[in-house]
Structure 1
Amino acid sequence: MAKKHAHHGGAWKVAYADFTTAMMALFLVLWLTAQDSKIKEAIERAFRNPFASLTKESMGIVPNKDVQATHQQRGNFESVSAMEMELLRRITEDLAKLFKQNDDEDAKSVKFDLTPDGLRISVFDFANRPIFKPDSAEFTEYGSWVFSTLAWEISRYTTFRLELEGHTEAGRPMLRPDYGSWELSADRANAARRLLTEHGVQSDQLHRVAGYGDTQPMEAAQPKAPSNRRVAVLLRKKLEQQTS
């Protein structure tokens, strides 16, 4: 009479499933503990309210109160992926730490604003820490250092296009009969373009270089304020990304 094979049962499968689940849980715990506080807060909010959409605040970005975004701009901002928003935040933090560690006055000379459509970096031409020689588009040694430092960081992120703006304060006298605030602001923006490309920024990242004279003051109530004398570098999404 033939012997019947013993029935082994499925207990080992249950044990293996438990082991796999435990390992997955351990992996998730280790991954979460490695994240920074902003990502942890976003994940916690997602579990509490899984149907909530990502907002600027959920990515740890403080809205710039000085920027009044239009409805279209807000739409562009919300279309930016969470990864891109996190990347812009990290670029801002890295640059802010770099300038603050070097000198407190450097931190005052460079301002970072996350806006509805990207990152605006304003470099001020203050009298006590000028970036340009007087009434000129020629950089001071300090100005060259600032823009070469910006170039080193920006050149690492080729997924963003760049726009450069030159601005002056109101009330400047004409330097020559045919050379005033418009020409000076445009030349300074173009000088910044040249320096950025000399220090690693790819030319195809540059989308626009413009001088606005004294028409767009930083402080509307004080058009003659020194803070209006500045060059702005804007990091925006590339056009093909915006239209995709």
Structure 2
Amino acid sequence: MAGPANGQPIIIKKKKSGGGEGHHGGAWKVAYADFVTAMMAFFLLMWLLNATTEKQRKGIADYFSPTIPLNRVSGGGDGAFGGDTVFAEDALPQAGTGATSVNPSQEAKASGAQSQPFEKEQEEQRLEEVRDKLMALSGESDVHQEMMKHITTRVTDEGLVIELFDTDTVPLFTAETALPGALLERIAAMLVRVTSIVKNPMAVEGHVRARPIVVNQNPVWDLSTGRAEAMRQLLIQQHLPDARVIRVTGHADREPAVRNTMSPRNNRLEIILLRQVK
């Protein structure tokens, strides 16, 4: 029996279930973890820059540099050279007129090309010895406790910086003048005695605090230069060889040591033992 002529065909629709509106995955967690790790690395870097000396920072940089060996001579394995590198003394030819870094030629000795790294290391050790004596880091010090309140040191690319500064109660100079006080005279005598263990040339730099008001003739330039020159004269009076001081500079109030530019802490002198070996 046939269906009605005007009957419509039956259409069956099949819907595929896609699982609904599921969660969007955990990709954001990975991105957040990377962000937290980067911030931790950043704050660790900031702490290292603030808590280490210039020498220590250079050592850290050398450690992570792939072009600088961690040791002067690295192991070469147990192969043909018996654990030595091709640059080891006993791995080089023993015949002929060639020279090595251990046994340099007379020309190399005369030019100083082979001795410079050793001399640089020796100079570094001597500057560290001066610093230890000033800051009692070696267990003994030639510095009286009263003087140590006015002294700090740091090692820079230029050399060993010995900083002498005012405290809130005890200035090194008569107020607003370049006339040294009795304490600074004793410090100068001590510095000549301690620094006599090295022959490095010296630089003397003067810094002063900012003035609270603007005046027509600001004395900070003349005052900082005058104090640096007064310190040079004190050192000479204590029998420091005149030729060792090769630079006397006044920086006025342009390089404050603390955020408050008018703080007495900014009244300071810097005696720099300059490096001789670059």
Counterpart code for 1:224: M
Give the 3 Å change call, closer, same or farther, for CA 128–100 of structure 1 in structure 2.
farther
Q: Distance in 2 between matches of 1:166 and 1:188?
A: 6
Rounded to whole Å, the distance in 2 between the matches of 1:130 and 1:228 is: 11
Q: Is the 8 A contact 1:122 1:231 kept in 2?
A: yes
Distance 1:196 1:168 in 2: 20
What residue in structure 1 maps to residue 203 of structure 2?
163
What is the number of residues matched between the two proteins? 164
Aligned to 2:267: 229
Kindly report which structure 2 residues correspond to 1:31-180, keeping only aligned pairs within 5 A, or say none.
49-51=71-73, 81-97=120-136, 102-103=144-145, 105-158=146-199, 160-171=200-211, 180=219
Q: Check the 8 A contact 1:155/1:202 in 2, yes or no.
A: no
CA–CA distance in structure 2, aligned partners of residues 200 and 156 of structure 1: 14
Deviation track 1:168-199 (CA, whole Å, cap 9, x = no partner) reads 1112568x965601111100000000010111
Segments of 5+ residues of structure 2 without an aligned counterpart are: 1-69, 75-116
Distance in 1 (CA, whole Å) between partners of 2:141 and 2:176 is: 25
Amino acid of the residue matched to residue 237 of structure 1?
Answer: R
Does 1:199 pair with 2:221? no
Task: Look up the match of 1:12.
Answer: none
| AA of the residue aligned to 2:195 | I
Is residue 161–residue 205 contact of structure 1 (8 Å, CA) maintained in 2?
Answer: yes
**2:260 is matched by which residue type in structure 1?**
Q
C-alpha distance in 2 between matches for 1:112 and 1:192? 17
What is the RMSD computed on CA atoms of the aligned residues?
2.6
1:20 alignment partner in structure 2 = none
In structure 1, stretches of 5+ residues that fail to align are: 1-47, 53-77
SS in 2 for 1:213: coil
Cα distance, 1:148 vs structure 2: 1.4
Percent identity reads 24
Q: 1:146 to 1:114 in 2, by over 3 A?
A: same
User: For 1:172 and 1:99, how far apart are their aligned partners in 2?
Assistant: 38
- How far apart are 1:99 and its partner, in Å? 6.3
Aligned to 1:208: 247
Contact 1:154-1:201 at 8 Å conserved across structures: no
Deviations 1:219-241 (A, max 9, x none): 2x322222111011001124xx5
User: What's the CA shift for 1:111?
Assistant: 0.5
Q: After TM superposition, where is structure 1 displaced by more than 4 Å over at least 4 residues in a row?
A: 98-101, 176-179
Residue 155 of structure 1 aligns to a residue whose secondary structure is helix
CA distance in 1, matches of 2:141, 2:147: 6
AA at the equivalent of 1:236:
L
Q: Is the 8 A contact 1:100 1:106 kept in 2?
A: no
* 1:200 Cα deviation after fit: 2.0
Alignment TM-score, normalising by the size of structure 2: 0.53
Pair 224,81 (structure 1): closer, same or farther in 2 beyond 3 Å: same
Distance 1:165 1:212, change over 3 A: same
Max radius of gyration: which structure?
A: 2
Residue deviations 1:3-38 (CA, integer Å, cap 9, x gap): xxxxxxxxxxxxxxxxxxxxxxxxxxxxxxxxxxxx
Q: In proportion to residue count, which structure has more helix? A: 1
Closer, same or farther: CA 186–93 of 1 in aligned 2, 3 Å: same
